[in-house]
Amino acid sequence: MKTLDGVDLSLVGPWTVEVVDTTGSTNADLAERARGGASGWQALVAGEQTAGRGRLTRTWSSPQGTSLSLSVLLRPTRPVPEWGLLPLITGLGVARALEALGAKAVLKWPNDVLLPADDERKVCGILAELVGGPAQGVVLGMGVNVGQARGDFPVHTATSLRLVGVTVTRPQVATAVLEQLGELYEAWDTYGWDAVKGSYESSCVTLGRTVRVELPDGTGVLGTASSITDGGRLRVRTTSGERVFAAGDVQHLRSL
């Protein structure tokens, strides 16, 4: 099936798109296919996702009809150590797609998509998974909040396109995301991070902000986010010197 809400998604650029009514996790489904040898440029869209996952072992809820659950399988030609940039590139692709649909969108490092019109609440989360098999690939999952009302969210930090006055359909969001992500991915796979780094940095509102980086061991680091490395890591100036983070949950603070 290639229709979402009655709209045919089979002709979105180079993507091969499949739509399912419901599934546990689009990422898990595509990862299984990847291990079985599926080619790149695959996209899986679910009307409802019942066991979605976010970064740092969080869950991601996507009730039927209100949000877009989308995962893609890519098999880059660039060296595997550079694949860690793909979650950042995916976040930029989603932000660009939402901008094209009329919603001002920005990024919080590494790949949270925020809506400034709703106090920089989160509208999209992204999860990347490296998968093996006959050849390595990467699965990138996106959950975009489209039509939820305020009371539909389990946390106060989430928002939707509806809540900032942008009325669009899920097929419109899926098409825009695939188009923008495809364009950015091709540029990166051909020319590397330099082809997209400037655009990412322009969209990333973490840079220049006072932040607290929450680490997996429960500790936190305070400082000023200064730049993004060529490997996609975050540089933070602290009172004890510069720190570089490959992962961590960033909080934007008003002041130290």
15 and 42 in a common domain: yes
Show the CA angle centred on residue 244, arms to residues 239 and 250, nearest 5°: 85
The pLDDT averaged over each successive group of 10 residues in the chain (256 residues) is: 87 93 93 94 92 54 78 97 97 98 98 98 96 91 96 94 98 98 98 98 98 92 97 97 94 76
Within this chain, do residues 136 and 217 fall inside the same structural domain, yes or no?
A: no
Tell me the CATH number at 50. Answer: 3.30.930.10
Cβ(120)–Cβ(106) under 8 Å? yes
Q: Which of 188, 203, 218 is the last residue of a domain?
A: 203
Q: State which of 187, 203, 219 marks the end of a domain.
A: 203
**Domain range for 170:** 3-203
Burial status of residue 30 (CB atoms within 10 A of its CB: 0-12, 13-18, 19 or more): buried
Give the CATH number for residue 244: 2.30.30
185 and 234 inside one domain = no
Is 214 found in the same domain as 161? no
Check residue 52 and give its pLDDT.
59
pLDDT at residue 56 in the model: 45
Instruction: Compute the distance between CA of residue 119 and CA of residue 104 in angstroms, rounded to an integer.
Output: 12
pLDDT of residue 1: 61
Task: Examine the domain organization and report whether 108 and 228 are in the same domain.
Answer: no
Burial of 77 (0-12, 13-18, 19+ CB in 10 A): exposed
Place of tokens 């990166």: 188
Nearest to 56 by CA among 210, 211, 205, 215: 215
237 and 199 in a common domain: no
- Distance of alpha carbon 121 from alpha carbon 96, whole angstroms: 17
